[in-house]
Chain A
């Protein structure tokens, strides 16, 4: 089956620093990648959608200058949380979709900002 690799699985950073999260589709070409955020006991909230080679489309209320998304190739997308603050602490999950390929989630990244 399709595999999406997401790294790191856990990260702790100091307030004000930036954190980069990588999402790779290992065995298919991901034409579209989605980035979600999930707070405890809540559902997944879509942050942005990115298509390879294009600028990401952000959902309402998500700051594009704070959450930088790059989708430079058909197998790699990155999310950079810039100037992170404690309220950014959350579970970040990527999902990849390709032609004829069902949505596949990465394993998630637990971000803690101290």
Chain B
């Protein structure tokens, strides 16, 4: 079983709609969860971090964490063509260790 799993996509969403990205992880003691956006040929950039159960909103982005079900999701409201990218879920699986484990990423395409 992979430690951090994401649907590789591609996920196509009409412009203006809500894009929903999901991620599951294997280790119940995971503490820190991150969503990164990566454009082709570029390095990842941090969008959201979340540490507690529930929702965290930042502009058009909302991260949702459910530790009991071991999943974390990212919602993008009012999707824009510029949101087209690969979204990487990253989890700190080792308590007390700063190492992040990345999912394989979901490729998102916003259709104008």
* Contact surface of A with B, Cβ cutoff 8 Å: 6, 32, 34, 42-44, 46, 49, 91, 93, 95, 97, 102-108, 110
Contact = CB atoms under 8 A, between A and B. Distances in A.
Given A34-B99, A43-B103, A49-B99, A102 B43 contact: no
B58 interface: no
Contacts, number: 44
B34 A107 contact: no
A12 to B, nearest CB: 16
Contacts of A34: 99-100
The majority secondary structure among interface residues of chain A is strand
Contact of B100 (A6, A103, A108): A103
B34 to A, nearest CB: 7
Contact of B98 (A32, A44, A91, A105): A32
Interface of B: 34, 36, 41-46, 49, 88, 90, 98-105
A43 B100 contact: no
A43 B43 contact: no
B88 A103 contact: no
Contacts of A32: 98
Given A105-B45, A106-B43, A43 B98 contact: no
A105 B104 contact: no
A95 B34 CA distance: 14
Contacts of A106: 43
Closest 5 CB pairs of A and B: A108-B43, A43-B104, A105-B43, A44-B102, A93-B43
Contact of B44 (A44, A46, A49, A110): A44
B26 to A, nearest CB: 16
Given A104-B46, A107-B43, A43 B105 contact: yes
Interface core residue of B45, B99, B104 (most chain A CB under 10 Å): B99
A110 B103 CA distance: 21
28 contacts: A6-B43, A32-B98, A34-B99, A34-B100, A43-B103, A44-B44, A44-B88, A44-B102, A46-B99, A46-B100, A46-B101, A46-B102, A49-B99, A93-B43, A93-B44, A102-B46, A103-B34, A103-B46, A103-B98, A103-B100, A104-B46, A105-B36, A105-B45, A106-B43, A107-B42, A108-B42, A108-B43, A110-B41
